[in-house]
Structure 1
Amino acid sequence: MRGADLIQTLREGALLTVTINRPDKANSLTTEMLVALRDIFRASSQDDTLRAVLITGAGGRVFCAGADLNTLYDETDGPDPWDEMARALHAVPVPTIAAINGPCIGGGLTLALGCDMRFAGPKARFSYPVLKNNVLPGQYDVDRLRALIGQGRCAAILLGGDVLGAEEAAAWGLVDRLVEQSDLIGACRHLCATALAAEGAHLKTLKSMLRGAA
């Protein structure tokens, strides 16, 4: 399947749900999938009728296992696709929520950190095995992770290889809300309700103020 086919989008009124649809491969991301996500986020930034974006993983077991290891060390002639995708997500001017329904590993954490809010079910766990995989994280990921959980805890994940369960991630501040697995998407939709009914320019200005203070 092509990268674009492995990323599903569902538009319901002013809400866009983006689903990583590769459950047989733990929703790991290929370069083509990163390009598809980048294009979706870029289009979202130009959509004046959009009010919120929800990101989740298909299959009910894994949010995103990060990079497909078969493409992890691929060289590209142009810009880094991970950086481009992360920048495009960060630039989305309306609320973004990660519905983390299972393991969120490596590049999966890039997606989660790029969102304004992170809701997690009890099956979620978090790690960023950059030392193990001999890769460097994006600087934005490091800065955002440190801002959320502090220098020492950030080091425990990046340098110590810590794996956090859902409750510990919430206690550390990495997860904003713990939700029962069956209620995860519903809880995210409920939180979006005010934004979905808001006037677009006001909503975008408020998000810009929030991000500027981060």
Structure 2
Amino acid sequence: MIDLSKDAGIWTVTLIRPDKANALTEDMLIKLCEIMESAGEARAVILTGHGKVFSAGADLEAARAGLAVSDLWERLSGAIAALPGLTIAALNGTLAGGAMGMALACDIRIAVPTAKFFYPVMKLGFLPQPSDPARMAALIGPSRTKLILMGGQKILAPEALAFGLIDRIIEGDDLMAAAHDLCADTVAAPAQIARGIKAMCR
């Protein structure tokens, strides 16, 4: 299930499938794509998960049926990257596999201290989605990108922060408050100024 709430220009998108580590089905991916493609009016978008895991990536059965190589992943990350408003991945726990693309496409990534980061596509016999390695390398460099994608390493939150994969570590109870705090100045500013600054940073 995907939950969408809107408040004062901030759209909060929450993955809700905690019994399956928020693994994404095809229907969930389509819903996420539709939300992000319609979020051009949002001043800010916060993407988070319910429970102790942000997302384990593709649902295992759906992945075996072809979801792991679906162009929906690229459609989703592209839609997030194209948004004119501020985008924040508020990572409530571990981020794995194809779900990494959502976070990489966001402007800012914050995470709880217990979060882990890994992307085991090579082990599973798949290529990553086309934009993911380039976005990851832009954040942490090509060698560290290969450490994750080819070395199969699980990166803990402190190392992810040191690498630049995430921007801050936030205690779990404060995660969403921190995300909203990061949105405050953008939401308060004239829309054309906030969007202009984002465009200048690209």
TM-based fold match above 0.5: yes
Could you say which residue in structure 2 is the equivalent of 1:150?
141
The alpha carbon displacement at 1:74 in A equals 3.3
Could you say what secondary structure the match of 2:151 adopts?
A: coil
Could you say which residue in structure 2 is the equivalent of 1:33?
28
Could you say which residue in structure 1 is the equivalent of 2:44?
52
Is the aligned partner of 1:83 residue 2:74? yes
Could you say which residue in structure 2 is the equivalent of 1:20?
15
Distance 1:55 1:8 in 2: 10
Distance 2:199 2:128 in 1: 25
Give deviations 1:95-115, integer Å, cap 9, x for gaps. 000011111001221111010
Could you say what secondary structure the match of 2:93 adopts?
A: coil
Work out the percentage of aligned pairs sharing the same amino acid. 44
The alpha carbon displacement at 1:201 in A equals 1.8
Number of residue pairs matched by the alignment:
200
Could you say what secondary structure the match of 2:55 adopts?
A: coil
Could you say which residue in structure 1 is the equivalent of 2:106?
115
Distance 2:71 2:89 in 1: 23
Is the aligned partner of 1:125 residue 2:128? no
**Which runs of 4 or more aligned residues in structure 1 lie more than 4 Å from their structure 2 counterparts after TM superposition?**
none
Could you say what secondary structure the match of 2:189 adopts?
A: coil
Letter in 2 for 1:100: L
Could you say which residue in structure 2 is the equivalent of 1:174?
165
Conservation of the 8 A alpha-carbon contact between 2:74 and 2:130:
no
Distance 1:75 1:40 in 2: 23
Distance 2:125 2:190 in 1: 45
Distance 2:60 2:128 in 1: 15
Could you say which residue in structure 2 is the equivalent of 1:165?
156
Is the aligned partner of 1:140 residue 2:131? yes
The alpha carbon displacement at 1:140 in A equals 1.2
Give deviations 1:116-138, integer Å, cap 9, x for gaps. 00001111110000112211112
TM-score, length of structure 2 as denominator length: 0.95
Letter in 2 for 1:163: K
The alpha carbon displacement at 1:203 in A equals 1.5
Distance 1:107 1:159 in 2: 15
Give deviations 1:10-54, integer Å, cap 9, x for gaps. 111111100001111100111111110010001102x2xx21000
The alpha carbon displacement at 1:75 in A equals 4.5
Pairwise CA RMSD = 1.3
Could you say what secondary structure the match of 2:124 adopts?
A: coil
| Alignment gaps of 5+ in structure 1 | 1-5
Distance 2:141 2:86 in 1: 24
| Alignment gaps of 5+ in structure 2 | none
Distance 2:167 2:152 in 1: 22
Letter in 2 for 1:21: I
